[in-house]
Structure 1
């Protein structure tokens, strides 16, 4: 496919999948349960954190997380007692367990108390056009309180060449305003043009088949290669093509 034909093909897929109906089969439905900014952020961050594996199980366990937070995530984060955290016992999603969940709540409290919230602590420097250093610095802040070594693996670090798929997906949810009611666009201090397309097995395989990506590993270097290509198609909203790659891979088995 020529460049213009490929752009038109992908644009058609974005229109097909970036619709309100997308929500009912995606973990983004979890933050859509809420209207308060902080609730949306925390629910989205937790849902994105466990977004690997079977999609139905991801959604089921993310709903359970919200139930354990009394369906008021921000209030729970800021006002929970140690006794409240006992109810997490037995929670597990793949390798993410109740100890990890407990730490995440404690770390989020530290971030909202001392750093002004997730929007501030994940914001890139004004002279940066990507999130590599912002995500790396976020991880340092996230683990500045006492933690178990096992929990480190649940927050990725792009400076270690991770594609950071789940954090990039969360950033898309918070930053991008799609006018379709899917992505929230509530982080006004961030820029959509700096977002990264969440890269995993599905999107990576589709991108390679379409000639958007040549690198074989799904790592940060591959993500930058894919970003550079997608920004040629739409420099202001390159990450919209996540809907095209995801839809082609998951729904159309492209």
Structure 2
């Protein structure tokens, strides 16, 4: 396929997968449970944080997280006690355990009380630089006392990470809610500046289609993939995540 044919093919796949049916099998269903902006943000951030491994397990454990927070994540973050956090004991999703979860709640409280919330802390200082924004976000996230084990659960693109889960969370929050999938509640951010949440499925599909040559799924691979996706749609390049992911997961492309 030449580039025009490839764009047409991927545009069709975006239409196929970027619709409400996608939600039923995706962790994005977790923030969709809520209507208050801060609830949506916190639910989305926590669900995205544990979004690796079996998708059914991710969804089930995300629901457990919400239940442990009384299904009122923003109120819980702001007003929890140490006794409330003790209820987390025994929770685990792979290597993300109760102690990590407790720290995340405490850090989110600090972010909402002292830094203007997640939308503000993850905002790029320059119009098109989420690499630095995510790096600075991690510094802010760990400005309160933490255990070293928890550091690994927030990635840093300045260390080469593709930061798949944070980029996916950003997609959820920033892309317009035109098809009922992404939530589009962060109006101070621009979809034009988002990066594709690169994982094994999107990476392998992109390589098979010839729009990614780098073998590692790291930040350099994201920058390479960005070039083509921004050529295809400079205002909404990350809509192609639906096509690449759908081809990889649902069609075993």
TM-score range, shorter chain: over 0.9
- Displacement of 1:149 in angstroms is 0.0
The alpha-carbon deviation at position 129 of structure 1 amounts to: 1.1
Cα deviation, residue 197, structure 1? 0.4
Q: Is the 8 A contact 1:130 1:196 kept in 2?
A: no
Q: CA deviation at 1:93?
A: 0.2
Distance (Å, rounded) in 2 between the aligned partners of 1:97 and 1:228: 37
Q: How many residues align?
A: 253
In structure 2, the gaps of 5 or more residues are: none
TM-score (norm 1): 0.99
- Give me the whole-angstrom Cα distance separating, in 2, the residues matched to 1:213 and 1:77: 40
Runs of 4+ aligned structure 1 residues displaced above 6 Å come to none
Counterpart Cα distance in 1 of 2:39 and 2:109: 13
Partner of 2:51: 51
Q: Distance between the aligned counterparts of 2:90 and 2:249, measured in 1?
A: 31
> What is the CA RMSD across the aligned residues, in angstroms?
0.5
Q: CA deviation at 1:218?
A: 0.3
Once the two structures are superposed, the pairs formed by residues 42-191 of structure 1 within 5 Å of their partners are 42-125=42-125, 127-191=126-190
Q: Deviations over 1:85-129 (max 9, x none)?
A: 00000000000000000000000000000011000000001x331
Whether 2:193 is the aligned partner of 1:194: answer yes
- Cα deviation for residue 130 of structure 1 reads 2.8
Q: Which residue of 1 aligns with 2:217?
A: 218
Q: 3-state SS of the aligned residue for 1:88?
A: coil
3-state SS, counterpart of residue 177 of structure 1: coil
Q: Which ranges in structure 1 are unaligned for 5 or more consecutive residues?
A: none
TM-score (norm 2): 0.99
1: CA distance, partners of 2:65 / 2:49: 11
Equivalent residues of 1:66, 1:73 under 8 A apart: yes
In the alignment, the residues of structure 1 paired with residue 49 and residue 81 of structure 2 have an alpha-carbon distance, to the nearest angstrom, of 23
Contact 1:13-1:247 within 8 A present in 2 as well = yes
The aligned runs of 1:227-246 (5 Å cut-off) are 227-246=226-245
Please state how far the C-alpha of 1:178 moved relative to its aligned partner: 4.1
Contact kept? 1:131, 1:195, Cα under 8 Å: yes
